Amino acid sequence: MNCDICGREISGQAFKVKVEGAKLLVCNHCQRLGKPYEEQPPPTPPVVSFPPRTVPVVGAKIVPKRIRSRTPEIPRGLEDVDIVDDYGDKVRRHRMKLGLAQEDLAARVKVKLSVIQKVETGKMVPDLRLCRDLEHELKIKLLSPRETEEMKPSKPEMPEEVTLGDIIHVKGNTKSDLSD
């Protein structure tokens, strides 16, 4: 180990001194150039413990309450609506019609400017809350009820009693092939 001041190899005991605010490990000769110091261990943060959450129950018993983790849920109403295809152009047109800057609209709907910019360019699809806020501020409709397509049978109706022969068609086998 070498002295931090003179560079000589330290033989014997090394001394911890503070020279102009710098903490150095020095030899016996350089010890007088600084003031000795003792390293203090870093303070340990206090340990804070909270009592378990409890819920009073009839009969003077205290039962600890189980803390459940929430599973992400689809917001109500989201499965029933779709966002219009030209939402970005619609937002831009109505914002300009009202004479609002993008910064003003962002402040009104409480989102960042970059979010409004991305919505207007179509790089981001707004979530349900943002759609509702934009609809309110710009007096437009961005959400439309979801149209459910009814399943139409592609084949003609089958009779109530279906036999296996009605369903299976063997390639190359026709009635004329079978009668031979």
Q: How many domains does the chain have?
A: 2
Q: CB of 27 within 8 A of CB of 15?
A: yes
Give domain status of residue 2, yes or no: yes
Give domain status of residue 66, yes or no: no
Phi, psi of 26 (to 5 degrees): -125, 170
Give domain status of residue 57, yes or no: no
Predicted local confidence at residue 44, as pLDDT: 80
Give domain status of residue 44, yes or no: no
Predicted local confidence at residue 97, as pLDDT: 93
Rounded CA separation 117/11 (Å):
69
Rounded CA separation 159/77 (Å):
40
98-141 confidence digits (pLDDT tens): 999 999 999 999 999 999 999 999 899 898 899 999 999 999 99
The one-letter amino acid code at 152 reads K
Predicted local confidence at residue 42, as pLDDT: 78
Task: Write the CB contacts of 115 (distance below 8 Å, at least 6 apart in sequence).
Answer: 106, 124, 126, 130
CA 169 to chain centre: 53
CA 83 to chain centre: 21
The one-letter amino acid code at 134 reads L
Give domain status of residue 161, yes or no: no
Rounded CA separation 32/101 (Å):
69
Give domain status of residue 118, yes or no: yes
Q: What is the CA radius of gyration of the chain?
A: 39
Rounded CA separation 104/94 (Å):
13
Give domain status of residue 129, yes or no: yes
Rounded CA separation 166/162 (Å):
6
Give domain status of residue 72, yes or no: no
23-51 confidence digits (pLDDT tens): 888 888 888 888 888 877 777 877 777 66
Domain around 1: 1-38
Both 88 and 140 in one domain: the answer is yes
148-179 confidence digits (pLDDT tens): 666 555 555 655 777 777 777 666 555 554 55
| Residue 13 pLDDT class (50, 70, 90 cuts) | confident
Least confident of 50-64, 79-93, 107-121: 50-64
Phi, psi of 31 (to 5 degrees): -60, -35
